[in-house]
């Protein structure tokens, strides 16, 4: 399961479950029905953002409210006007002006695949080259948001924050070593851009 598809619920400093949103909601509701009295906090793993859910009512009612939850609800977009200008809309190709120096145009025109195809290839290659860094930065931002909510009052928080944003992950591990295990472990999991976690309940 990709981290972008998962949500994590905490009861106090103990992790209840990491799972897709529906499984997470049902597991968390079960915990509340069993008498859980610690504060419940729920996070989107891909962003580290805390999200509030209404867990009252039956399981079906809890899930039904997802359809109108502001975090998931997407309003209907107005239909796009029909384009009559340049481009190949059936293929999703849009024509726009590009400003280049003469030497850039000369190089593009010399490419066997043509200017447009060469530009598209260069853009795709640049996106792939930067993807790793983008993933790392997104993971760091998610971890920072989660840490601010769950660990803002824990000892060593300020030092841990400095190490996080400096990218010194080994130092960060040392800073959070004495934190509640579930908070510490989830924080470090968020820092792995390729990390995944199967739905699992924690007592």
**Residue 42: Cβ-neighbour burial (10 angstroms; 0-12, 13-18, 19+):** buried
What is the structure's pLDDT at 104? 74
Nearest Cα neighbor of 32 from 52, 51, 9, 13 is 9
Domain boundaries along the sequence of the chain:
3-73+100-201
Q: Is the pLDDT of residue 203 over 50?
A: no
Alpha-carbon span 63 to 166, nearest angstrom: 40
- In a 3-state reduction of DSSP, which class is residue 46? coil
Task: Please write the tens of the pLDDT for every residue from 115-161.
Answer: 888 777 777 766 666 556 788 889 999 999 999 999 999 999 999 99
Task: Please write the tens of the pLDDT for every residue from 47-78.
Answer: 999 999 999 999 999 999 999 999 887 655 55
The DSSP code sequence of 117-157 is: HHHHHHHHHHHHHHHHHHHHHHHHHHHHHHHHHHHTTSTTH
Provide φ and ψ at 59, rounded to 5°.
-55, -40
**Residues pairing with 196 in the sheet:** 2
Q: Is the pLDDT of residue 4 over 60?
A: no
Alpha-carbon span 69 to 138, nearest angstrom: 24
**Residue 156: Cβ-neighbour burial (10 angstroms; 0-12, 13-18, 19+):** middle
The DSSP code sequence of 23-88 is: HHHHHHHHHHHTT--SPEEEEETTT--B------S-HHHHHHGGGG-TTT--PPPPPPPPP-SSEE
Least confident of 17-21, 75-79, 184-188, 189-193: 75-79
**Residues pairing with 50 in the sheet:** 43
Long-range pairs for 36-39: beta carbons < 8 A, 24 or more residues apart = 36/11, 38/11, 38/12, 38/14, 39/11, 39/12
Alpha-carbon span 168 to 162, nearest angstrom: 9
């Amino acid at each position: 399961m990709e981290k972008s598809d998962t949500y994590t619920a905490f009861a106090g400093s103990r992790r209840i479950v990491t799972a897709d949103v529906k499984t997470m909601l049902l597991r968390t509701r079960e915990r509340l029905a069993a008498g859980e009295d610690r504060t419940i906090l729920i996070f989107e793993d891909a962003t580290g953002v805390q999200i509030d859910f209404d867990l009252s009512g039956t399981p079906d009612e809890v899930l039904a409210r997802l359809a109108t939850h502001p975090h998931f609800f997407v309003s209907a977009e107005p239909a796009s006007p029909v384009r009559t200008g340049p481009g190949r809309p059936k293929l999703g190709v849009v024509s726009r002006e590009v400003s280049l120096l003469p030497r850039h145009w000369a190089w593009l025109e010399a490419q066997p695949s043509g200017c447009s195809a060469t530009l598209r290839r260069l853009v795709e290659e640049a996106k792939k080259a930067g993807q790793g860094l983008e993933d790392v930065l997104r993971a760091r931002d998610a971890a920072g948001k989660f840490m601010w909510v769950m660990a803002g009052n824990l000892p060593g928080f300020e030092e841990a924050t400095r190490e996080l944003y400096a990218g010194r992950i080994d130092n960060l591990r040392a800073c959070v070593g004495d934190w509640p295990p579930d908070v510490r472990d989830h924080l470090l999991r968020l820092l792995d851009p390729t990390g995944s976690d199967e739905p699992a309940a924690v007592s």
